[in-house]
Structure formats: structure tokens, C-alpha cells
Chains A and B, each alone.
Chain A
Amino acid sequence: MGIFRSSLFSEDMSVWGKIRQIAWGQVFFLCIYATIGFLSLYSAAGGSIDRWASPQIIRFIFAIGMLVAIAIVDIKWIFRIAYPFHIVVIFLLLLVDIFGHIGMGAQRWLDLGVMKIQPSELAKISTILCLARFYHGKELYEAKQFKNLIIPLMMILIPVALVVAQPDLGTGLAIVFGGVAMLFVGGVSIWLFIAGIVAAIAAVPIAWQFLHEYQQKRVLIFMNPESDPLGAGFHITQSKIALGSGGITGKGFLEGTQSHLNFLPEKHTDFIFTLWAEEWGLLGGLFLLAILGMIILYGYWIAFRCRSQFARLVAFGLTVNFSVYVLVNIGMVMGLLPVVGIPLPMMSYGGTALLSVMAAFGIIQCCNVHRDTRLPKGF
């Protein structure tokens, strides 16, 4: 039964049978995680549900439906569209750059009339799918060959260049991280990684020249936040005060003084973790980290039980993508990393980010549902 005859939903499992195969444990943890987000948004709005919480809840309900729908799609179909999808996404990114250039200024949206899409969100997923498909078709010795590095590098660097041009450095870096992790588990030679790291360090002074002034400033202030306590360093300093003053048990729901007296910036987007940990203290913060740990662990568990290299790599790559966002955002609000303007996936207010994260988990679940499906070799 060649795959090119397969329909969207494979024949060997009923829809109901597939739904039962979803790893509901991960969905459960996602729901808890989202609920923490709703509570925080409710608090961020000063105890108002209308402003941020209720739109986010409606989107989440919709997103759960989408997750299940994606999970039962036949993985052969995802396998087949991996390359064309990436090409379409690159084309969309190109359009955004062109329109952004005409519109004079940063632009990340593409208005299709009926809906607005953010191609950089799609690029995170399509890069992973594309790389997974590539390494699925390669034997290990082939993956180690230098000549087989060119194509995957192009798969990563083309969308990254277009995303960074928008300019959206945060998303660009996230795609690079996810992509490099994929190269690593795909089997690229260890020596190449060591050489790459050395080259990257050497390239830092050059890359520095290409950063926008505000980006350079962010890095400098990260090195020394006290240098500008009322300017850009303000964010980091205030976020640390908010976290620290939360103590072990927190200040109580809706009682966060730092957030509610407006010392905390962007409390409904980038700094939402701070708001949560200020009000719920160390216990709440560690609970949230544990939930995130469980979600990520589930992603690894799914990756390890998949029989095809494609499904393994997809589940792994998308999980890494999610955790990069989580780690970078939380590291940033704790003052461990520079302020890069990366939101906390799903918890930060914003529809597109929520939908794209849930779509990614839908694909991870799809890998789980079809963990025994065999996929053909070849480019």
C-alpha cells in the first residue's frame, strides 16, 4: 500500500481508535498550564476577565479542538507535505519582508483578507518538519558526510534570514536553536559541532555590528542592569524585585504590588511568569516549572517510542522548540539572559502564538498516534 494512495486519515485505524491513542496526559498538563495562564491574565488586568483572560480562554478551547484534529491526521500526509509546506512558508516570509519594506517598518503579519497570519510562527514548525523529512531519508553514515550538511543548513538559514530581516531576532534565534538540535540528533558529526561553536564565538564581534542599536543596548544592560536602573535596565531590576518579594508563599492572588502598581512592564505578555511567581511565590513558581517539565518530558517520551525516524525527529524537534521558548523567557525574567522579547508560549497574551504552539503539540500527538506507521525512504 504505497503512501501516495493514502488519504488524510489512514485506513488502518478508526478515528475513535486514533483519539484513544492520543497521549492525554500531555494534554492534561497543557490544560493546567493554560489555566495558570488564564489566572495570571485575569490578575494582570487588575481583576478583569474581559480584557485578556476571556479572549484567551475562547482561543484555547478552539486550539484544543485543533490539536485533536491535527493529531488524527495521517502522518504520511504530513510526511508528504513537509517539503512543499516549507517552500510555501519561505514564500510567505518573503512576502512579509516585501510588504514590510513597502510599509516602512517592522512587519510580521500577512493580511490575507479573511485572516491575518504570522509566517514566522509557521516557519518554526515547517523547518522542523523539513529537517525531519531530510534526515529520515539519510543513513547515519550519509548524515555524517560534510556534503550532506549543505541542504539542511539552507533549510534553516533561508527562513532565519527572512525572519531576522523583519526584524524579529527572537524568533530567528529560536529557529536556529531548534534547527541545530535537529542537526545534532539527525547524526551530524560531533566535530562539526565543535568547529561550529568555535566559529560562532569568533563571529560574535561581527554579528554585534549587525544588531540594531536597541538590541545592542539590551545586551549591554543585561551585562550590567544597574547601569540604567530607570531606563531599559528597569525591566530586569523590577522583575527581580517582583520575584524576590514574592517569597515562599507569594503575596496572594490579585495582590502582587509590583505588578499592580505598574512597576512591572509588559506583565500580560513577556513578564507574565514574574506576575505568577510574585503572587504565588516559590511554591507556585516551582509548580509551574514542574508542569512545564512534565509537558517536555512527555514530548521526549513520545519521540523515543516512535518507530520511524521522521516521527521521532518531529516530536523531538517540536518539543525542543517549545522548551527553548520557555527556558529563554523564564531565564530572561529572572535576569539570567538578556531581554530578547520572547513571550512565554501559551501563557503570554496573544492568539497566534497560542494557536501555533497548540498546532505543534497537535503534530507531536500525531507522531504518538502513528508511532508504528512505516514511512518510505528516499529524498
Chain B
Amino acid sequence: MERDQEKIDSFTRRAFIIGALQGCALTVLGARLSWLQVIEGEKYKTLAEKNRINVRILPPSRGQIVDRFGVPLATNLQNFQVLVTPEQVESLEKTLTDLKKYISLDDGSIRKALRQAKLKPAYVPVEVRNKLNWDEVSIIELNLAKLPGVSIQAGDLRSYPYKEATGHIVGYVGRVAEAEMTSAPLLSMPGFLVGKSALEKKYETVLQGIPGKAEVEVNVHGRAVRELSRTASIQGERLVLSLDAEFQRFVQQRLTTERSAAAVVMDAVTGAVYALANHPSFDPNIFSGGISAMDWEQLRDDPAHPLNNKVAGGLYPPGSTFKVCTALAGLEAGVIDENTTTFCPGHYDFGNNRFHCWKVGGHGTVNVVGALAHSCDVYFYKMSNAVGIDRIAAMARRLGLGDALDFDLPETKAGEVPDTAWKRKQRGDKTWHPGETINASIGQGAMLASPLQLATMTARIVNGGKEVKPWLAGYAGSKKIFQEEAKAMGINPKHLELVCRGMAQVMQPGGTASAAQIKEPGMQMGGKTGTSQVKRISKAERASGVRRQEDLPWHLRHHGLFIGYAPVENPRYVCAVIVEHGGSGSGAAAPIAHDIMLEVQKRNPAVKEMEKI
């Protein structure tokens, strides 16, 4: 046990050393405290007295969002709030009941104010009501003497004059969430708002602005007595969009004939988006100043999903609109040319499977232009395996599918372009079946694309094979933030011209969307219809005669799609329209495309200069 004793001695010695160090440290702390409080006490007392100079942050005004002509889409209104400072009132309840005599105040907001007051120190003012009108402000100002502790504060309220029409584009603002909090003192200011969706979120740093500072002298109760100096805040940059607001409103209105639809119109040459509309939509104004729980639940639970931006974030099988891509892939691969014809008997047998053409009797003999004009499935079925899924998928990607396209809206989705590599990765080591290629050739199967991507695809075909990307934000302040020039992708112009000819034929007598042709000279459009299956047509159904789409419940009907461009000569505008569960592209989507493509050509925003500072 001698060794144990040795260990104890060593421990004791060394623990004493550390203990003594700690004792010293504690003594130093005591000495420091005495030094600060006794020797330097007077000095610090004066400093504390002088410490009436409080630095207050002046929040900047949020930058405006305007359309290409400077029409405001998101702007700031003055917002008057009533505040009560609990420490300056005898009874908060009584003051609130008194306030009720002058302005309308529901029980909910009284309860909320009382709860807030309990959580915060008594000297922090509590917000009682928002959005006072002028009458209410003046009646309170008049009676301020009778209402001690009550004050009125002016702040900014974000306002969206175009309401539902631009909800999905500008987005909305809201209180800073805990996850968004950084060390920037601006964010912790009560009531400070940041972008929560769409452009408001994406361009938060641009729109936010730079806070100012005011040095304020306060009295013992912390109330401001006098302002000593002030550095003004700098308003956030103005964001100029490619959008044409009036046209946007027109498109939005046009979609309201359907239960759920979305459309986008963009410039085939520059990629500028002129309208991007969804129906149903939401009014972003209801988020400013706090959305009510009921409004929120209503928006969230609506089966038509008004909060979803279906143009950029809605993904659908592209259906027959994809045939333009398959045709181009076939042409580029040399599998087909202008003169390649196929006989369509109304179905195509491959292995043990029979693939049906949408037209029961078949199309007879067709070439590529005819196959596009009549949307003959069999033509594409037959060429698909000679081209191969990997070459079809590669063309789809070149045309903008499977990519978020660097679009300005955070809600944008990339979609899915299946090929052999994709299948290996996504679905394990399964082999790709030729049958899947057949399906993919007419845009069915695992392929998913957004209307924005379909419009981009159309633009890249009709603009002579240039890699345009859609964009919304043109200028942040005076800084240009969009890409004007698109580089050529090296696709044979003859092949592009052939696909364009097919799309033009779609709108001619005999074509699938001839009824929707624009009659005005010089404004004719070309396009392609598409129908994307929501529910497979079963063998039994086919045998008993396919049920008419109108007889199905709404949510099982096919989506109607349409992609279009105009004018046919020197195309400038492209569009993509989807009518969810609209039955068919020609019946539901093409008439909408007719109206909006006619309107955009009449307004012709492409020839008008964008508004700059």
C-alpha cells in the first residue's frame, strides 16, 4: 500500500496547486469587481447616466418590384399600428377596453396582446392592431390624452396591387423564422418582414435595403426624449421584371374558365417571360400583416392547390407535345428524314404487346410532318427503338427538359428525363425495356416536365436552335441581371425547319388543333397538342369502347397540354398551356393558347424597351 500512499500524495500535491490557482482566480474576480464597483464606480455611474444614448435601427423600405413598363407589382403602403406599453398603464385590460370605444378590436387580438405582454418585459410596447385607416388614426390621436400608454406607429406594409394575378411570381413576405435568423440586428427587429416565396425570397438581399441608425437620447424609463443623429436607411433596389402586368392579368383571367390551369408566355429569342399564370392562385396581400389561420387552412387544403406554381413547379408527363423532341432526335440521328413514311393501322405490335394509336382506325401513310400534324402515335412508336432512349433523352435535355434552367423562382423543379443511366440509378440495376422507349417516344411513362420547360423546348426549336433560358428579373436597380444572348446548340436548321412545319400543320385544316388557329393575318401560330394520362386506359375499357373523358370524375380525367409559337414566320412568342384534368390538349388547352397568343401579338411587348432607372 506504499504505492497507494505515493499516489495519494501526488494527487494531493497537484490538486492543491490547481485549487490554489482557482482560489487565485476567484480572488482576482473579487478584486476586479471591487475595482469596477468601488474605485471606478463613480466613473461608471456617470457613464450609466450618460448611457441614455440608445442606438436604434431604422429599418429600410423594401425595394419595389415592377413590370417591364414600371407598373408596380409589389410596393409599400403606410401601415399604422396601435401599440400599448404595459408599464405605462394601470391595467392593460382596462386600456384595451377603452381602446375598443374608438376602434374596432376583436376578442382574439385582445387576448393576443395580453399574452404578448406577459412574455415580454413591461417596457416593450405590445402591438394591439394593424392596418388602421385614417379615421381610426385621427380619432386615437385626438384622444391620446385619455389613453396613457397608447401610441401609434407608422410602418411599411407590403402591398401587391395585382393580387391573385401575380401571387406566384412576386410571392409574399412574412416574419423572420427562427431558421432564417442571422446575427444581422435588422432581422431581430420586431415586425421585420422577409421574402418567403417566389421573387420576394429569391431576391431578398437585393430588395432588403440597408438599415439606417438613429442615436436617441432616452430618459430613465427608456422613452426617447431627443434624437441626436441619424443615418437614413437606404431603400432596397427596384426589381424590374420581364413581365407585362396587363398581359399577365389577361392570361390569369383567361384561365379562370377552368378549374385548374396554368400558362406561360415567353420570348422565343431572349427568353423573357411575359406572363406566367396559374389558376387558382392566391392573393399575397393576405400574408402581409399576418395571415389568419382560417385563410391559411383554406389555401393549404384546397384540392386545386392554389399555393403551387404549376408553371414552374408542376410536373406532368408531356404527352404528345414531346413528339417534337422525338422527331428532332430521329432527324438528328439520321433514323428518319423528310421522306420517311410509315403506315399507321391504328396500332403497333411489339413483342407480345400492342401499342395503340389514339385514332382507332389509324392514320394511313404518314411522313414526319403529317405525323406531327395529326399526332400519329404509331409513327413515333416505330422509329423510337431505332433512335434509342439515350438519344431521345439527350435531345430532351438539350431542349431544356430535366433542368431547373436557372429560373428566378425558387419553386422551380427540374423534372425527370428517364434513360438507361437514370433507370440504373433510380430503380436499381434493372434493364431498360424497348417497350419503355416506345412509351417515352410519345411523352408517357416516367418522363416529367413543367410547362415552363415545354415552353423553353418550343422556344429552342423555333428560334433556330439557340439555347435560351427563361428569366423574370431583368434589372436590380440599374444593374442588368439577365442573359440576352443565347448560344447556338448546333442542331441542323433543316431539321428544325421540318419540325416547325409539322407544328404549323397542327393548326391547319386536318391538324389536331385546327379549330384554335389564329385567323388574323401575320399572327398565325403553330403548335402541338398533348394529352397526359392520369389513369391508364385498360384493355377492358378499350374493348367496351373507350369511356368519354367527360364521363369520368374530374380528378381522373387526362391533363390537356398545348405548346405554341407565333407568328409562324419569324416566331417571336412561345407558350405552354396546361389544363389539369381538362380531358384533351386540343379541346381544353388549345383554345386558351389561341386567346393568349393573339393578345400577346397585339400588345407586342417584345418590341418595347424595358424600363430602366
- A residues contacting B by CB (< 8 A) are 45-48, 50-51, 139-140, 181, 184-185, 187, 214, 230, 238, 240-248, 257-258, 260-263, 277, 281-282, 285-286, 289, 292-293, 296, 300, 303-304, 309, 312-313, 316, 320, 323, 327, 330-331, 334, 336
Contact = CB atoms under 8 A, between A and B. Distances in A.
Interface string B17-53: 1110011011011101110111011011101100100
Contacts of B41: 244-248
B203 to A, nearest CB: 21
A51 B47 contact: no
A262 B7 contact: no
Report, nearest first, the 8 A-B pairs whose CB atoms are least far apart. A244-B44, A46-B121, A245-B48, A282-B37, A244-B36, A245-B44, A185-B14, A261-B222
A289 B26 contact: yes
B610 to A, nearest CB: 36
Contact of A327 (B4, B14, B22, B218): B22
Contact of A257 (B18, B48, B183): B48
30 contacts: A45-B121, A46-B120, A46-B121, A46-B122, A48-B121, A140-B6, A184-B14, A185-B18, A187-B10, A241-B48, A242-B48, A243-B37, A244-B48, A245-B45, A247-B37, A248-B38, A248-B41, A257-B51, A257-B220, A261-B123, A263-B51, A263-B54, A285-B33, A285-B37, A289-B29, A312-B8, A312-B11, A320-B18, A323-B22, A331-B25
Contacts of B26: 289, 292-293, 296, 327
A243 B15 contact: no
Interface in B90-123: 118-123
B3 interface: yes
A309 B3 CA distance: 12
B214 interface: no
A327 B32 CA distance: 12
Q: Could you say which interface size class chain B belongs to?
A: 35 or more
A307 B11 CA distance: 12
B387 to A, nearest CB: 41
A261 B54 contact: yes
Interface of B: 3-4, 6-8, 10-12, 14-15, 17-19, 22-23, 25-26, 28-30, 32-34, 36-38, 40-41, 43-45, 47-48, 51, 54-55, 87, 118-123, 183, 218, 220, 222
Contacts of B37: 243-244, 246-248, 277, 281-282, 285
A50 B44 contact: no
Contacts of A312: 8, 11
Nearest to A313: B11
Given A46-B123, A330-B29, A262 B55 contact: no
A323 B7 CA distance: 24
Contact of B43 (A244, A246, A262, A309): A244
Contacts of A260: 121, 123, 222
Given A244-B41, A261-B218, A300 B15 contact: yes
Contacts of A243: 33, 36-37, 44
Contact of B3 (A139, A185, A240, A300): A139
Contacts of B51: 238, 241, 257-258, 261, 263
B55 A230 contact: yes
Nearest to B48: A245
Given A261-B123, A261-B218, 20 more contacts: A47-B122, A51-B119, A140-B3, A185-B18, A187-B14, A214-B183, A244-B41, A244-B47, A245-B47, A257-B220, A260-B123, A263-B51, A285-B33, A289-B29, A309-B11, A312-B8, A312-B11, A316-B15, A320-B18, A331-B25
A51 B122 CA distance: 12
Contacts of B30: 285-286, 289
A287 to B, nearest CB: 11
A214 B17 CA distance: 35
Contacts of B28: 336
Contacts of A263: 51, 54
B218 to A, nearest CB: 7
A336 B25 CA distance: 11
Nearest to B50: A241
A300 B8 CA distance: 14
Nearest to B117: A48
Contacts of A309: 4, 7-8, 11
A45 B8 CA distance: 48
Nearest to A249: B37
B227 to A, nearest CB: 16
Contact of A185 (B15, B55, B222): B15
A4 B98 CA distance: 74
A334 B40 CA distance: 13
Given A244-B37, A304-B15, A334 B183 contact: no
Contacts of A140: 3, 6-7, 10
Nearest to A138: B7
Contacts of A242: 48
Contacts of A277: 33, 37
Contacts of B218: 261
Contact of B33 (A50, A185, A282, A320): A282
A140 B32 CA distance: 39
Contacts of A240: 36, 44
Contacts of B12: 304
Contact of B34 (A51, A282, A304): A282
Contacts of A313: 11
Contacts of B14: 184-185, 187
